Each structure stands twice: as C-alpha cells, then as structure tokens.
Amino acid sequence: MKSAVGSVKNTSWSLIFSDFKEITKAKLALSVLFSSIAGYFLGAYQIDFTSLALLAFGGYCMVGASNAFNQVIEKDLDALMKRTKNRPIPAGRMSVNSAMAIAITMTLLGVVALYLLSPKTAMFGAISIFLYTSVYTPLKTKTPLSVFVGAFPGAIPFMLGWVAATDDFGIEPGTLFMIQFFWQFPHFWALGWMLDDDYKKGGFKMLPTGKKDTGTALQIILYTIWMIVISIMPAFGFTGRLHLSIPAAIIVLLSGLVMLAFAFRLYEKRDNASARRLMLASVTYISVIQIIYVIDKFIS
C-alpha cells in the first residue's frame, strides 16, 4: 500500500515538474541562456562563477516568466492549435492563477538576481519581459510586424551576457545584439512557414507577406545576408573589444553561407521540408558562431 502511495506521489511530482518545464518552455529558456553565457564569456576580463550563477538563474527566470505570461495571454488561442492545445493551461492541468503565480515569482526573482549583477543588466532583462509580453504577444494576431517587434527581446540575451560581465553598453554588446536581431527573421519565418496552417487556426500573422510565397522567401534571404555581414564585422576592427580572428571569421562566414544556401533552397522549393531544414540550420548556426566567438577570444 505504501509503495502504491509513493508511486502516485512520484507520478504527481513528475507531472508538476513536466508542466513547469512546459509553462516556462525549458528547452527554449536553456538555449537563450546559452546565448547569455556566451556573451558573458566574451565580455568578461576574468570569469566570476558567482556572477555566472546569477546570470544563469536570473536569465532562466526572465525567459521562463515571459513564456508563462505568454501562455496565460494566449490560453484560448493555444486551445485552437494542434501544436499548443496540450499545454498546461488549455489542457486543464494548470490554472491561470497558478501560471500567473509562477510568472510573477520568476519575474521578481529574475530581476533581483540580475540586479545583483548590475542595474543595467536588470533593466535590459525587464525591458525584454515587457516587450515580449506587452507588445510582441498582442501584435501576433494583428500584424506580421510582430516578428520585427519580437526580434528586440529575442536579441537581448547575447548582449545581456556582455552587459552582465562589464556593466557597460557600447559597440560590443550592440554588435552581439544586431547579430541575434537579424538572425531572428530567417529563424522565425522558417518556423512560421512550417507551422502556417496551425498558426492560422489561432489567428496568428507571422509571415511577412501573409503567405508561403516567393516574397516571404526573398525576405528570408535578405535578412540572412545582413546577419552574415554583421557576424563577420568584428574581424575588421570596428567593434571595440569584440574581436574575431581571420580564421574564425572565415568559419563564421562559411557557416552563414550554408544557412544562406538553405534559404535559397526554400526560395526554390517553397515547401515545408525546406523550411524545416532552414529552421534547423538557423538553430545550429547561432550556437556554432557563439561557440566560435568564445573559443576565438581565448585562443587568439
């Protein structure tokens, strides 16, 4: 009897933990955290593990809070879409009040943790939550420009790590911001292309032309080119302390050209399979170049 009760308790805690991961979008939050930590390594004169721990904790809280607020706001729309109907709130496993409690608690914890690093870091974290929940989320059903607005909070993490390490905002974190800003467009439009039918059920307008057409594919190509240009700029000495050696710049350039090839493939084929390949290539690209930037700093 005791083992049966214990098993039920374990299952219950497992479901709670699973729903917590889903309401905070744990995988997405960890990928965002990776960007922040890469930015920290790039900016830091010396690595302080207490600061890294605060950045990791505060960063996860801020992203998790944004995602929880987002799922509260979009709960009725999530119920309409196959991709999201099994999320904790529309599926009835979590109440709106519980989700709001998680979101508010994580916001407060995140702001405090980032403030302990520096007021500037906390300010950018708070701006990110505000833009994501109060501007980007409501605009998703109104206009494709929502992706442009959403690219601002989406581009903050890479920059945030540098600010956390230096308590300074200048050309270096600005460049990191621009890299991730331009990257957002091919990444999210490829995702929007794949999920277009499902997004339409929820009334979301994610593609720039509203259609899976050559116009959308062309814009993906153009933003990918801008992303590549910004990504190799540190090799030319325009970006202060943010340097990139010639060998590292060549690797970054080649990585970008691979992603660009997938964008041209989508332009040619205009199908979901090509959009999926581009989306996966974009995820690989941003992780690879962040690793290259960090490795290059410490070996060059």
pLDDT band with cut points at 50, 70 and 90 for residue 253? very high
- CA 249 from chain center: how many Å? 23
pLDDT band with cut points at 50, 70 and 90 for residue 27? confident
Q: What is the pLDDT of residue 282?
A: 95
Q: What is the pLDDT of residue 8?
A: 45
What's the CA gap between 227 and 175, in Å, rounded? 11
Contact 39, 176 (CB under 8 A): yes
Boundary-marking domain end, from 136, 168, 200: 168
Structural domain includes residue 263: yes
Bigger pLDDT: 2 or 44?
A: 44
Q: pLDDT tens-digit profile of 257-277? A: 999 999 999 999 999 999 999
- In a shared domain, residues 239 and 192: yes
- In a shared domain, residues 153 and 178: no
Structural domain includes residue 268: yes
Structural domain includes residue 8: no
Proportion of the chain above pLDDT 90, given as a percent: 62
- In a shared domain, residues 33 and 80: yes
Q: What is the pLDDT of residue 257?
A: 97
Q: What is the pLDDT of residue 84?
A: 82
Q: pLDDT tens-digit profile of 177-199? A: 999 999 999 999 999 999 988 88
- In a shared domain, residues 111 and 187: no
- In a shared domain, residues 225 and 121: no
- Domain tally for the chain? 2
How many Cβ atoms are within 10 Å of 295's Cβ, its own excluded? 13
Q: What is the pLDDT of residue 9?
A: 52
Q: What is the mean pLDDT of residues 118-123?
A: 92
Examine the pLDDT at 216 and tell me if it is beyond 90.
Answer: yes
- In a shared domain, residues 26 and 98: yes
- In a shared domain, residues 247 and 135: no
- In a shared domain, residues 272 and 282: yes
Phi, psi of 281 (to 5 degrees): -65, -35
- In a shared domain, residues 121 and 38: yes
Tokens of 203: 């009334």
Boundary-marking domain end, from 168, 201, 231: 168
Examine the pLDDT at 1 and tell me if it is beyond 60.
Answer: no
Structural domain includes residue 145: yes
Structural domain includes residue 9: no
Structural domain includes residue 246: yes
Q: What is the mean pLDDT of the chain?
A: 90
Q: What is the mean pLDDT of residues 37-55?
A: 92
Q: What is the mean pLDDT of residues 127-156?
A: 90
Boundary-marking domain end, from 112, 147, 168: 168
- In a shared domain, residues 163 and 175: no
CATH number of the structural domain spanning residue 51: 1.10.357.140
Q: What is the pLDDT of residue 93?
A: 85
Cβ-Cβ contacts under 8 Å for 221 (sequence gap 6 or more): 260, 263, 264, 267
Examine the pLDDT at 36 and tell me if it is beyond 80.
Answer: yes
Q: What is the pLDDT of residue 3?
A: 52
- Domain membership of residue 66 as a residue range: 14-168
- In a shared domain, residues 122 and 204: no
- CA 74 from chain center: how many Å? 18
Tokens of 119: 């007021």
* Four-point Cα dihedral 14, 17, 19, 22, nearest 10: -130
Structural domain includes residue 6: no
